[in-house]
Amino acid sequence: MARFLVRRILQGLLVIWLVTIAAFLLFALDPSGPDSVARRIGGRSATPAQLHRIIEDLGLREHIWNQYWHFLVGGVPGRHGLIRGDLGHDYYYGIPVTHVLKTAAPVTLSLAVGAAVLWLLMGLASGVLSAVRPRSFLDRFFTSIALFFYSLPTFVLGLLLLLIFYFDLTTKAHLHWFPAAGYVDLTKNPAQWAHHLLLPWLTLAVVSAAAYTRLARSSMLDVLGEDYIRTARAKGLSERRVVLRHGLRAALTPIVTQFGIDVAVLIGGAVVTETVFSLHGLGYEAVQAINNQDLPVIIGIVIVASVAVVVANIVVDIFYAILDPRVRLN
Domain boundaries, the chain: 2-81, 98-323
Q: Identify the bridge partners of residue 174 per DSSP, sorted by sequence position.
A: 167
| Contact between 223 and 229 (Cβ < 8 Å) | yes
Cα–Cα distance measured from residue 12 to residue 272, given in angstroms and rounded to the nearest whole number: 28
- What pLDDT does 294 receive? 79
Q: Which CATH number fits domain 98-323: 3.40.50.410, 3.90.1150.10, 3.30.565.10, 1.10.3720.10?
A: 1.10.3720.10
- What pLDDT does 324 receive? 65
For residue 95, what is the enclosing H or E element?
A: strand 95-96
Phi, psi at 127, each rounded to 5°: -65, -40
In the Cβ-directed half-sphere of 7, how many Cα atoms lie within 13 Å?
A: 8
- What pLDDT does 82 receive? 82
Q: Mean pLDDT for each 10-residue chunk of the chain (330 residues)?
A: 77 88 78 74 74 77 80 68 79 83 89 90 90 87 86 82 68 59 80 85 87 89 85 84 82 84 78 84 86 82 87 82 61
Secondary structure (DSSP) of 34-86: HHHHHHHHH-TT--HHHHHHHHHHHTTTS-HHHHHHHHHH--STT---GGGT-
Q: How many CB atoms sit inside 10 A of residue 303's CB?
A: 20
Cα–Cα distance measured from residue 149 to residue 144, given in angstroms and rounded to the nearest whole number: 9
